[in-house]
Amino acid sequence: MLELSHVQVFHGPIEAVHGISINVAQGQCVVLLGPNGAGKTSTLSAIAGIAQYRGAINFLGNNLVSASIEDRQRAGIALVPEGRRIFSNLSVRENLVIGAATRNNRSAVLKDIEHWFEAFPVLGERRHQMAGTLSGGEQQMLTIARALMSRPEILLLDEPSLGLAPLICQQVFRLIAELKESGMTILLVEQNVRDALELADYVYLLNTGQVTQEGDHSLFGDDTNLMAELTGIH
Ligand code: ATP
């Protein structure tokens, strides 16, 4: 579904990613792991059209080379950026309406809002509340629900568990697992290695802008040194 071939990502003159190749098949959850500065966010930014890149990014058989951010959203790519960027002064419901900005079938949008309020009861109960008053975990769920409002084919999730208490992390991972079970294709960047590996169909390990290892989660299962390096737990 999504194929990156020899992709280099640039921030101005700085080359953050040096020619990586990554594949995500339909319905898979693929995980990008790696230390800070490895190039994980840069990779997601290139796919979403936010960062400049060289090499090919193909999505559903089309090369995205000349596609704008909006073109990519319309094609079915939704990015949930790091840091829970909600519109704090808008209600939960209004945040979801904004997530559907690329769609013009109003009744379908309203139906989807109700659908996600059922799927995320914690948001449904707070639909008229200002988003800024939600807890960190609720805000993360809102950013994911807002991304889903564009009816994406693939969800790019950048460290959704960052800064959340362990119990709330578990709720967010459960939600991602449910999305996967419902057939959603997911590319997940995570530092929370153990939880991410449980969801992963395939894993790429990035370091200093390069893929250093890849495989299914069993690749990491027996390598306690590697796990320790990635998790910081020795
Ligand atoms: P983290 O977990 O810290 O977010 P990461 O693996 O997502 O790390 P990136 O954020 O993609 O890594 O950063 C990769 C490299 O690109 C780093 O050296 C970083 O300093 C650099 N970089 C990232 N964003 C920019 C930017 N906007 N301008 C300049 N350099 C950047």
Question: Mutate which of 7, 41, 162 to test ligand 1's pocket (most atoms within 8 Å of Cβ)?
Answer: 41
Fold topology of 2-85+153-230: Rossmann fold (3.40.50)
Determine the distance separating the centroid of ligand 1 and the alpha carbon of 217, expressed in angstroms.
25
User: What does DSSP assign to residue 192?
Assistant: -
CA 32 to ligand 1: nearest atom: 6
Instruction: List the residue whose alpha carbon is closest to atom 26 of ligand 1.
Output: 11
| 3-state SS class at 215 | strand
- Does the CB atom of residue 40 touch ligand 1 within 6 A? yes
Q: Tell me if 160 sits within 8 A of 176, measured CB to CB.
A: yes
| pLDDT tens digits in sequence order for the chain, 234 residues long | 999 999 999 999 999 999 999 999 999 999 999 888 899 999 999 999 999 999 999 999 999 998 999 999 999 999 999 887 889 999 999 999 988 888 888 888 999 999 989 888 889 999 999 999 998 888 988 999 999 999 999 999 999 988 888 888 888 898 899 999 999 999 999 988 888 888 999 999 999 999 999 998 777 665 656 665 664 444
CA 189 to ligand 1: nearest atom: 7
Burial track 160-184 (b if 16+ CB lie within 10 A, e otherwise): bbbebeeebbebbbebbeebbeeeb
Residue 226: is it exposed, middle or buried by C-beta count within 10 angstroms (0-12/13-18/19+)? middle
Strand-pair category, 52-59 with 2-11 = antiparallel
Contacts of residue 72, defined as CB under 8 A and 6 or more positions apart, other chains included, come to 47, 48, 49, 59, 64
C-alpha 234/C-alpha 224 separation (Å) is 8
C-alpha closest to that of 15 among 48, 47, 37:
37
Tokens of 136: 């960190």
- Does the CB atom of residue 8 touch ligand 1 within 6 A? no
pLDDT tens column, 146-182: 999 999 999 999 999 888 888 888 888 988 999 999 9
CA 41 to ligand 1: nearest atom: 7
Contacts of residue 67, defined as CB under 8 A and 6 or more positions apart, other chains included, come to 49, 75
Q: Which helix (H) or strand (E) holds 199?
A: helix 193-199
pTM of the predicted structure, to 2 decimals: 0.89
For CA atoms 75, 76, 79, 84, the dihedral sign is positive
